[in-house]
Amino acid sequence: MSSYGVFLPEAILVATALASAVLGFAWRKRPDLLWAFAVIGTSLAIFITLDMMGLGIGRALNLSVWPSPVGTQGNFAAELKMKVDTFALFFQLMFEFVAFLAILASRGFIRPEEPHQGEYYALMLLAVVGMMFTAAATDLFVLFLAFETSSLSTFALVAFRKRDKQATEAAVKFFIIGAVSSGIILFGISLIYGIAGTTSIGKTTTDLLLLRNGLTLAGHPEIEPPLIIALVLLIAGFGFKVAVVPFHMWAPDVYQGSPTTISVLLTSASKNVGIVALFRVFLIGLLSVQVDWVATLAILAIVTQTVGNVVAIPQRSIKRMLAYSSIAQAGYILIALAVGAIALQSSPPHTDNAAYVAAFGLVGGMLHVFVYGAMKAGSFLVVAGTESRGIPDEIEAYKGLSRRMPFMAFSMLVFLLSLAGIPPLGGFFSKFVLFSSAVNAAVFNPWYLALAVSGVLNSALSLYYYARVIWYMYILEPEVGTAKEAVPRSIEAAVFVALAIVMLTAILAVFFLGYLTDAARSFFGF
Amino acid sequence: MIAFEWVVWLILLFPLAAFVIVGLVGRRLPEGGDHVVVGAMAGSFVLSLYVFIQVLQQGGLGGGFAPQTIQGYVWIPSLLPENSIKISLLIDNLSALMLVLVSFLCLLIFVYSLGYMHEEDGKPRYYAEVSLFATGMLGTVSADNFLQLLIFWEIMGLCSYLLIGFWYSKPEAAAAAKKAFLVTRVGDVLFLVGVLVIWNVFGTLSFGEIQGKMASLYPNTLTPQLLTLIPLLLFGGAVGKSAQFPLHAWLPDAMEGPTTVSALIHAATMVKAGVYLTARAFIFLVPLSSAVQPPFTAILVIAGIGGFTTLFAATMAVVNFDIKRVLAFSTISQLAYMFLGLGAGAYIMATEVSRGEAVNSAGYSAALYHLFNHAFFKALLFLGAGSVIHAVATNDMREMGGLAKPMPVTSRVMLFGALALAGVIPFSGFFSKGEILSVTFEAGSEQPGFYLLYALGVGTAFLTAFYAFRLWFMTFHGEYRGHVHPHESPPVMTVPLMILAGFTLVSGLLAYPMQGFGNLVFFGRPEAGFPLVGIPVQDYLLEGVSMGVAVLGLALAWAVYATKRVPAERFTASARALDWFDRKVIDGIVNGVGRAGVVVATGTDRFDRQVIDGAVNAVSLETVRTSLRLRQRQTGQVQSYAWVVVLGLVVVIALMFGLSFLQRWWAGLGR
C-alpha cells in the first residue's frame, strides 16, 4: 500500500459520492438502486478502515498532502499535514459507521418519489469525508478546511426537503450560526499562528511553551491576553459544532427541523467532529498552556451537562428532548478533555500515573463518543421509524408504543436507559470509565472530583425525562388501538445494528480497550 | 498451556451458550431445546474431567499442583494496575474437583429432566434457566477472586428464585420463590460487605494475593478484629446460601419447585456454595504464618452454628410427612455437618499454626469429602423421590407405601441413598460423616466445647438413620395407601438413578486409592513454609460409635414403621415439640423482626415521603421552573442566537481571564 493508500476509504467515499450524484439523474425512477449503491460504498469503506485498524496501519505515516504554498523560511514553514494514526482511525470508523446507519435507514425514511436523492447521498458521503479528514488533520489549516467541508455539506443536507418550511428555517439558522462560528475559528487560528508562528498542531505546543517561558523570563509583555482570546475563540468555534453551552442555541431547532436521518448524522457524527477537533487542538496543540484553559473547559463541561439535562425536562417533542440530552452528553465527553490535560505532568518515560490517567481519560472519551454515537443514532432512528408510520414527533404520541411497535419501543427503552447510564448497557460502561478517570485525576488536583460528581448527579437527573418516555411507551395504553404496525425493514435493520452495539459494548469493550489504550497513548506520543 | 486455558474457559462457555441459544430460540427447537442443553453440559463435563486429570497428573498427590490462574481480562481498570479487578479463573485441587462434581451432577440431572419434565409446558424456560444456573455454579467454583465469586453466586441466586417459582401461577410457588430470594439476600448483603471490607484492607480480592499479603498487613492494617470480622461476614453469606440456622427457613419452602431443581440446586450444588465459600475463607481462618493470630472466635461461631443446626434440622426431618420436605431438612442437617467439620478442622489447624507445628488439614478435607459424597446420595434421594412423585402424583408419604413392588429400581436405589445418608458401612456417608465426627472429637482436646458439638453430631447421626429409614419404609414398605396406579419411571430417569446409586458405593471408597481425600482438596500452598499433611483421623472407637448409633436409628425406624411394634407418636412427640418451636418461636422471631422492620420502614417511609421527597420535589419543581424559564430564552430567532453566541464569547473570555488571574494570585500566595 503506497503512502496515499491510507486514504483509500476516503477515496472510495468520494467516488461513491460523485457517482451517486451523477447516477441520481440516471436512476431517478430507481432510488432503491441508488440506496444500494451508497450502502455498498459505505460498507466497503468501513471494511477497509476496519482492516487498517487491525493492521495498525498508518501509525508511522506523516503525510504531506500537498507541497507547502507558503514560504518555507525558518520557523514559519507551513506543512499541511495529515496523520492517519490509530486515534484517527477510530474516529473515522465512528463517522463511517454513523453514516452507514443513516444511509441504511434512508430507504425507509425518504419516500421513493422525493427528488434529489442522488444529491442527498452524495452530500451525506462528502460530509463524512470532511469529518474523516478532520480526524486525521495535524495542521490547523487542514483541520479548518476539513471541518468546513463537513459543515457545508450538512448545511445543505438540512435543507434537503426544500419545501418543508421547518427544515428550511432550520437550515438557515444552522448556516448563519455556522458561518459565524467558522469566522470565529479562523480568527482563533490566525491568532495562534501570530503567537506561535506555526499552524502545525504538533509544533504549536512546544513553540508556545518556549515563547512563553522566554518572554516571561525576559520580562517582555506576556502573551497571555492574545492567547486567552485565541483559546476562547477556538473553544467557541469548535464548541458550536459540539453544542457546548452557551454556543448551543441552534442545536435543538436544527435537530428538530431536519429530516430525521440527517438529525442522526448531525447528533452522532457531526457533533463528534467538534469533539475530535477539540481533542487534537487542545490536547496536542495547546497542551503546554493547559493551565489557561483546563478550568474554563471543566466549568463549561459542568454547565453544558446541567443546562442540557435541565432544559430537556419540559420538552414535549421527542427530537427536541433528544437534542437537549445530546447537549448534556457532549458535556460528559468534555470531561475527557479536562482529564487528558493531565498529560502535561507526565515526564519522558511516560510510565507514570499522569500518563496513565490522561490516557485513561481519553479512552473514556473515545469510548463514550462511540457508544454515544450508537445510542443517539439509534434513538433518532427509532423516531424515524415511528415518523414513517405517521406518528407525530411528540412524547404524548408514544403512548402505548410497546403494543404497536414492540421492537421499536424495546430499542428506544434500551437506548434511553443506556443514555442514562444504566448497567449493563454500553452507556454505563463508557460513563464509568469517563467518571472514574476524573476520580483518578483527583490525585493531581482535587477539583477534578467535581467533574465526576457533576457527571453522576446529572446522569441521575437525566433519568427523569428518559423514564417519562419509557412510562409513556410501556405503562400507558395507546389511544389509537393496539394493532401492530410495521416499520420499514431498512429502518429496523439500522436500529438493530445500533441496538446490538449498545447492548454488547459493555461485554465486548474488553476486546478493544487495548486498542483504545494504544490509540490514546500514541495520540499523546507516550 | 494455551489449550489448557481455553479448555477451562470453555467449561463455562458451553452452558452459557446453551442458555443463550435456548433462551433466544428455544421455543422453535424440538422439545424446547433440551438436547442442546444436555449436549453442552456433556461437553462441559468432559472438559472438566480433562482438567481434573491434568491437575492430578501434574501435581500428583499431596498438593503438588501449584494453583494456576487462568488470566482473563481486566474488567474494572484502576489507576494502580495491581488494584484493577480481573476476570480470571483459578484452577487448583479444590476447584478442579468441584468442576467435575458440579458438571457431572448437572449432566445427570439434565438427562433425568428429559423424562421428568417431558410433559411440562415452558420447557425452554426451564432449560434456559438450568443452563444459566450451571454457568453460575461452575463460575462460582472456578472464580479467582471474591468479587467474581459473588457475581456468579448472585446468578445462582437468581436462577434459584426463577426455578423455585417455575410454576409461577401456583401461589405457594411464587411465595416460596420470594421467600428464598429475600432470606438469602440477608446473607448476600453480609457477603457483599465482607467483600468490600476485604477490598479495603487488602486492595485485592484474589485468593492467592490475599494469602500472600496476610502476614505483611497484620496487625496494623489487618487488625485482629478485622480478621475476625471478615470470615464471619463471608460465613454470613454461607449461612444464607446453605440454609443454616437462623436463615434456614427458605429451603423447605423451596421444594415447591420441580423436583429436578430441588435435587440439583437445593441439594447437590447451589447450597454447597456456602460450604465452598467457607472453605475458601480458610485463608482467613488459618493464616499460614505463625506471626498472625488466627481468629478463634470466628471459627467457634462457624462450628457452633454447624453443630446446632445439624441436630435442629434433623429433628424437623423426623416429623415431616412431605417426602421432599424431609429431604430438605436432611440437606440442611447434612450441610451443617460440613460446617461443623470445617469449624473443628480449622480450630485444630489454627492451633497447630499458632504453635508452629505441622498442619493437619483433616477437618477441611473431611468436610469437603462429605460435600462430595452428599452431593451424590442427596441428588439420588431427591431424584428417587421425584420418580416416586412422578408415579403417585403426591408428596405426602402417608399416601404412599408398598411401592417396592411396582417400582423395583427406584426402591432399590433409594435404599442405597438411605444407607449412604444414614452412614452405614460401606456406603459413602459412613466415611465422611465418621471423619467429621472424629475431627470434632479430636478438637475437643483443644477446646472442650467441641465435646458438646460432638455429642450433638452423634445424636444427629442417630436421628439421620431414623428419618432416612422412616422415609424408606413409609414409601416402599407395607401396603399402598394412595389412589393413583403407580408405575416405574422410564429408563431416561432410572439410568441416572442407577449411576448415582453406584456412586454412593464408589465415592466413599474413592478416598483409599487417593490415600485420603485430603489429597484431592489440598489446602494451603507449598510455598507457605508449613509442612501440610492431610492424614485422616483414624480412631476405630469413634467410627464404631457413629456406626453404632446409625444402626440403632435404623433399627428403631424398622420397629416403628416397618413392623409397627412401637407406636410412632411416642418418638415423634419430642420432635414435634421442636417442630412447634421452629414454627411458632423461630418463625415468630423472624416474623417479629419482619414486623419490626415494617414499623421501622413505615417510619422511614414517612421520613422519606415528607422530608426527602419534599426536598426532591422542591428541587425538581425548581428545576422544572428553571427549565421553563430557560426554554423561554429559546425564542427561535436566529438573531437572538447570534447575540447569545457573542454574549457567550464575552462571558467565557471574562471567565478565562478571571480564572487565570485567580490562579496567578493563588500561586503568589503559595510563594
Q: Is the pLDDT of residue A74 over 70?
A: no
pLDDT at A45: 93
Verify that A427 and A380 share a domain, yes or no.
Answer: yes
Instruction: Provide, as residue numbers in chain A, all residues whose Cβ is less than 8 Å from the Cβ of B628.
Output: 314
**Least confident among A73-77, A157-161, B493-497:** A73-77
User: Chain B: residue nearest A308 by CA?
Assistant: B627
Q: How many domains, in total, are found in chain A?
A: 2
The pLDDT of residue A321 is above 70: yes
Cis ω before A226 (30° cut-off from 0): no
- What is Dmax (Cα atoms) for chain A? 79
Q: What is the domain range of residue B579?
A: 570-628
Of A413-417, B360-364, B392-396, the one with minimum mean pLDDT is B360-364
**B22 — pLDDT class (breaks 50, 70, 90):** confident
Query: ipTM greater than 0.90, yes or no?
Result: no
Phi, psi of A161 (to 5 degrees): -90, 90
Question: Does A78 contact B at CB distance below 8 Å?
Answer: no
- Put simply, the answer to whether A228 touches B641 (Cβ < 8 Å) is no
Residue B87 pairs with which residues in a beta bridge? B73
Phi and psi torsions of B532, nearest 5°: -110, 130
Considering the domain boundaries, does residue B208 fall inside one?
no
Mean pLDDT score of chain B: 80
A247: number of CA atoms within 13 Å, CB side?
31
Q: Is residue A42 domain-shared with residue A180, that is, in the same domain? A: yes
- A296 and A379 together in one domain: yes
pLDDT in tens, B382-432: 888 888 888 887 888 777 877 778 888 888 888 888 888 888 877 888 888
Distance CA B424, CA B413 (A): 15
User: Of the candidates A228, A329, A242, which has an alpha carbon nearest to the alpha carbon of residue A278?
Assistant: A242
The whole model's pTM is what? Answer: 0.67
**A300 CB neighbour count, 10 Å cutoff:** 25
The answer to whether A504 faces chain B, any CB pair under 8 Å, is no
Query: Are A86 and A176 in a shared domain?
Result: yes
Nearest to B90 by CA among B156, B18, B12: B12
Please indicate, yes or no, if residue B622 is contained in any of the structural domains: yes
Quick one: how many helices (H) and strands (E) in chain A? 19, 2
Split at pLDDT 50, 70, 90, the class of B240 is confident
> What average pLDDT does this structure show over B601-626?
70
Q: Which residues of A188-215 are buried (b: 16+ CB within 10 A; e: fewer)?
A: bbebbbebbbbbbbbbbbebbeebbeee
Contact by Cβ (8 Å): B301, B389: no
Q: A361 or B508: whose pLDDT is higher?
A: A361
B464 occurs within a structural domain: no
Cell of A111: 419516500
Residue A454: the pLDDT is: 93
A311 to B630: CB separation less than 8 angstroms, yes or no: yes
**Highest averaged pLDDT of the listed ranges A361-370, B62-71, B206-215, B285-294:** A361-370
Contact between A46 and A79 under an 8 Å Cβ cutoff? The reply is no
**Residue B249 half-sphere exposure toward CB, CA atoms < 13 A:** 22
Q: How far is the C-alpha of B293 from the C-alpha of B313, rounded, in Å? A: 34
A228 and A297 both lie in a single domain? no
Q: Could you tell me the three cell numbers for B142? A: 472456578
Question: Last residue of a domain, which of A246, A268, A285?
Answer: A285
Average of pLDDT values for A29-48? Answer: 91
Q: Are residues A83 and A171 in the same domain?
A: yes
Residue B76, domain member (yes or no): no
What was the pLDDT predicted at A73?
44
In a domain, B497, yes or no: no
Contact by Cβ (8 Å): B417, B438: no
Assigned domain for B596 exists: yes
Q: Which amino acid is at B393?
A: A
Residue % of chain A over a pLDDT of 90: 41
pLDDT for the residue numbered A301: 94
Identify the closest residue of chain B to A506 by CA–CA distance.
Answer: B75
Interface test with A, best of B643, B653, B661 (most A CBs within 10 A): B653
DSSP string of A389-408, one letter each residue: TT--S-SGGGTTHHHH-HHH
Radius of gyration of the CA atoms of chain B, in A: 29
Residue whose C-alpha cell is 475563540: A233
Helices A86-109 and A271-278: angle between axes, nearest 10 degrees: 170
Cα–Cα dist B185/B153, whole Å: 11
- pLDDT tens for B264-315 read 888 778 888 889 999 888 888 887 777 788 888 888 899 899 988 888 888 8
Three-class secondary structure of residue B396 per DSSP: strand
Say yes or no: A135 and A180 in one domain.
yes
C-alpha cell at B523: 489446602
For A418-442, b where at least 16 C-beta lie within 10 A, e where not — what string? bbbbbeebbbbbbbbbbbbbbbbbb
Q: What is the mean pLDDT of residues B573-590?
A: 66
* Interface contact flag, A252 B631, Cβ < 8 Å: no
Q: Choose among A173, A228, A233: nearest Cβ to B638.
A: A173
CB contact under 8 A, A296 and B652: yes
Please name the amino acid found at residue A47: F
Residues in A 288-347 with any Cβ partner in B closer than 8 A = 291-293, 295-296, 299-300, 307, 310-315
Residues in A touching B626 (Cβ below 8 Å): 310
Per-residue pLDDT band for B527 (boundaries 50, 70, 90) equals very low
pLDDT-wise least confident of A61-65, A486-490, B173-177, B431-435: A61-65
Among candidates A228, A240, A246 on the partner chain, residue whose Cβ is nearest the Cβ of B657: A228
* Yes or no, beta carbons of B642 and A299 under 8 Å apart: no
Task: Check whether residue A335 and residue A377 sit in a common domain.
Answer: yes
Q: How far apart are CA B493 and CA B113, in angstroms?
A: 8
Q: pLDDT digits over B109-165, tens only?
A: 888 888 777 777 778 888 888 888 999 999 999 888 888 899 899 888 888 888 888
Between chains, do A173 and B631 touch, taking CB under 8 Å as contact?
no
Q: Rounded mean pLDDT of A452-473?
A: 90
- What are the residues facing B90 on neighbouring strands? B69
Confidence of residue A66 (pLDDT cuts 50, 70, 90): very low
What is the rounded average pLDDT of the residues A26-44?
A: 90
- The average pLDDT across B38-51 equals 90
Cα angle value A283/A288/A290 (rounded, 5°):
65
Residue A356 forms contact with B (CB below 8 Å): yes
Last residue of a domain, one of A220, A250, A285: A285
- Whether B482 is in a domain gets the answer no
Listed residue (A177, A373, A166, A323) closest to A259, CA to CA: A166
Of A345-354, B232-241, B452-461, B615-624, which gets the smallest average pLDDT?
B615-624
Q: Give the ranges where A197-317 is alpha helix by DSSP (H).
A: 201-218, 224-242, 250-257, 260-264, 271-278, 290-312
Q: Which domain holds residue A485?
A: 290-526
What is the phi/psi pair of residue B496, to 5°? Answer: -55, -35
Query: In this complex, how many residue pairs, one in chain A and one in chain B, have their CB atoms less than 8 Å apart?
Result: 99
Contact assessment for residue A269 and residue A373, using Cβ atoms and an 8 Å cutoff: yes
Neighbour-count burial of A112, counting CB atoms closer than 10 A to its CB (0-12 exposed, 13-18 middle, 19+ buried) = exposed
Nearest in space to B209 (alpha carbons), one of B220, B219, B199: B199
Residue B670 pLDDT > 70, yes or no?
A: no
pLDDT value at residue A61: 46
Residues of A in contact with B659 (CB under 8 A): 295-296
Residues A188 and A274 in one domain: yes
Helix (H, G, I), strand (E, B) or coil at B29: coil
CB contact at 8 A, B430 and B503 = no
Q: Mark yes or no for CB contact B651/A246 under 8 Å.
A: yes
Quick one: closest CA in B to A250, which residue?
Answer: B641
Domain boundary among A229, A261, A285: A285
Q: Is the pLDDT of residue B593 over 70?
A: no
Which range of A166-170, A441-445, A498-502 scores highest in mean pLDDT? It is A498-502
**Strand ranges (E), B39-128:** 68-76, 85-91
Q: Which of residues 216-275 of A touch B (CB under 8 A)?
A: 224-225, 228-229, 231-233, 235-236, 240, 245-247, 249-250, 252-253
| DSSP conformational letter for B526 | G
pLDDT band of residue A75 (cuts 50, 70, 90) is very low
Share of chain A above pLDDT 70, in %: 91
Residues A181 and A165 in one domain: yes
Test B655 with A228 for CB contact under 8 angstroms. no
Which residues fall within 8 angstroms of residue A69, CB to CB, at 6 or more apart?
A: A78, A80
What is the tally of helices (H) and strands (E) in chain B?
24, 4
Q: What angle do CA A268, A273, A276 make, to 5 degrees?
A: 115
CA A516 to chain centroid, in Å, comes to 17
B636 closest CB neighbour out of A253, A315, A443:
A253
Residues A122 and A193 grouped into a single domain: yes
Spatial distance between the Cα atoms of A57 and A9, rounded to a whole number of angstroms: 13
pLDDT tens per residue, range A208-238: 776 666 655 445 556 778 888 899 999 999 9
Domain membership flag for residue B575: yes
pLDDT category, A193, cuts 50, 70, 90? confident
Chain B residues within 8 A of A232 when measuring between CB atoms: 649, 652-653, 656
Tell which residue, B220, B357, B198, B225, has the closest CA to residue B283. Answer: B198
Taking residues B175-199, report their average pLDDT. 86
| CA–CA gap between residue B446 and residue B153 (Å, rounded) | 35
Grid cell of B19 as nine digits: 442458555
Low-confidence winner among A79-83, A279-283, B553-557, B574-578 (lowest mean pLDDT) = B574-578
Look at residue A205 in the predicted model and tell me its pLDDT: 74
Number of domains within chain B: 1
CA distance A498 to A412: 11
Judge if A160 and A278 occupy the same domain: yes
Q: How confident is the model at residue A58 (pLDDT cuts 50, 70, 90)?
A: very low
